[in-house]
Chains A and B, each alone.
Chain A
Amino acid sequence: NAGVTQTPKFRILKIGQSMTLQCTQDMNHNYMYWYRQDPGMGLKLIYYSVGAGITDKGEVPNGYNVSRSTTEDFPLRLELAAPSQTSVYFCASGSGGTTYEQYFGPGTRLTVT
């Protein structure tokens, strides 16, 4: 049981490039989330999804896009990368209902130069 997996672990982008951060969970969770973690700032929610085909914006969605075509996968797309997007990105999933706790992936460290 792998839990939540993220690829890549590290990436360096040039300004203006695009990329997709991959996230997959094997726990059959309906809820999935993308966060970014900046030093001393805690976690900020970028986008989330409550099921396949349903996505919604979080606190800091600008510059990002998501899709949720299957229960397992929730990729995050960065278009026209900017230095302000340098951060560590975490994907998480949860079953919702009465449990609500989230399970996190190991993170992707992204640097935009």
Chain B
Amino acid sequence: AQSVAQPEDQVNVAEGNPLTVKCTYSVSGNPYLFWYVQYPNRGLQFLLKYITGDNLVKGSYGFEAEFNKSQTSFHLKKPSALVSDSALYFCAVRVRRDDKIIFGKGTRLHILP
């Protein structure tokens, strides 16, 4: 069965430090991978995606993510965190030829001033 795991419920990072939010996946076949962000009382917003090609993908607000096929991971990163990055982050996976996307449980990111 397809699944996506976000092993950390919460990540705390000091402002200005690099941040990483972890995601691993389990699918049969080549995955499409996504990161979404949710601010309080809002719907999810698309951040970035990996479909094919370069393993390092860049997205909105200075975020990037690295696809690692051997480790089945797609960790979200940012070189220098901002307080405004504090939000709930969701990793998601879709298998080609399947119309559904599976979301992880979410990781709450706290950036400390």
Contacts and interface: CB of A to CB of B under 8 A. Distances in A.
Interface string A74-111: 00000000000000001010001010111111110000
Interface residues of A, number: 25
Q: Which of A42, A45, A56, A103 has the most CB of B within 10 A?
A: A42
B51 A106 contact: no
A40 B105 contact: yes
**Range for the number of chain B residues in contact with chain A:** 20 to 34
Nearest to B104: A42
A31 B17 CA distance: 39
A98 B43 CA distance: 23
B49 interface: yes
A58 interface: yes
A42 B46 contact: no
Interface string B46-76: 1001010000000000000000000000000
B90 A43 contact: yes
A98 B51 contact: yes
Contacts of B9: 40
A104 B42 CA distance: 9
Interface of B: 9, 32, 34, 36, 41-46, 49, 51, 90, 94, 99-106
Given A42-B104, A50-B99, 18 more contacts: A4-B43, A33-B101, A40-B9, A40-B106, A43-B44, A43-B103, A48-B100, A56-B99, A90-B43, A92-B44, A98-B51, A100-B49, A100-B51, A101-B49, A102-B44, A102-B46, A106-B43, A107-B42
